[in-house]
Amino acid sequence: MTKATYDKTITLFEGLLKVLHPFMPFITEEIWHTIKDRAENDYIIVAEYPKAASTNAALAADFGVFEGIVTNVRNIRKEKNISPKETLELAIKGNIYVLSQAWFDLITKLCNLSAINSITENLQGMPSFIAGNLECFVPITIAVDPLEELKKLTADLDYTKGFLKSVQAKLANERFVANAKPEAVESERKKKPTLTLKLSYWKNRLGRCRANLA
């Protein structure tokens, strides 16, 4: 490793330590003084916090969808006690081309999928979730307990209602809108349509679940 590469690595690591310091103060301070010779008063607690650079909004949105799919598929494995070694399929309703093939390659690897299929109709009785604007289903042969499904859907609906209510309250708060950073206000505004979509999704799922139990 060249000195330039080493110095750049240390600089990047220092940035990570600064971000972690509020959550892990003692260990980050110790590492801060271990990785590099410091002046007497050069402590991480008084170091300048990293400043956010320009961001790629489209890439961040794609990553959010990617993260949502991977997290939910893994949660379904855990809930249904399906081994990570067992391959699953993923079925996506909606515009599957919202993500590039590179993202789907990562999803296939991280979720151990045998296929990702595009569908036009809901897969009744199959575990499902929302990731971004995509409605996703995981076809499995394990029977789903309708009462457990009702309980889970009710909890998901209540959580989404509460989350949306808190976002609406922030946006209705004139002091927040006037005094918060513009990017913070815009972040809350962007949450609203996604949460509204999720709310509609959970309501429809809950309605179908109750109809099946009737």
Closest CA to 10 of 26, 31, 41: 31
**Is the pTM above the cut of 0.85?**
no
Q: What is the mean pLDDT of residues 153-182?
A: 90
pLDDT at position 106 is 95
Do the Cβ atoms of 96 and 58 come closer than 8 Å?
Answer: no
Q: For 175-209, how does the pLDDT look when each residue is reduced to its tens digit (9 = 90+)?
A: 888 888 888 888 889 888 888 888 888 888 788 78
Q: Cβ of 52: how many Cβ atoms within 10 Å?
A: 7
81 backbone φψ class: left, alpha, beta (φ>0; ψ -120 to 50): left
Residue 5 has pLDDT above 80, yes or no: yes
Whole-angstrom distance, CA of residue 93 vs CA of residue 196: 18
pLDDT at position 137 is 94
Write down the domain spans for the chain.
3-46, 57-143, 145-214
pLDDT at position 14 is 93
CATH number of 145-214: 1.10.287
Q: For 63-99, how does the pLDDT look when each residue is reduced to its tens digit (9 = 90+)?
A: 999 999 999 999 999 888 788 899 999 999 978 888 8
CATH number of 57-143: 3.30.2320
Eight-class DSSP state of 85: T
Percent of the chain topping pLDDT 70: 98
Residue 29 has pLDDT above 90, yes or no: yes
Q: Please give the full DSSP string across 171-196, using - where no structure is assigned.
A: HH-HHHHHHS-HHHHHHHHHHHHHHH
Percent of the chain topping pLDDT 90: 45
pLDDT at position 143 is 61
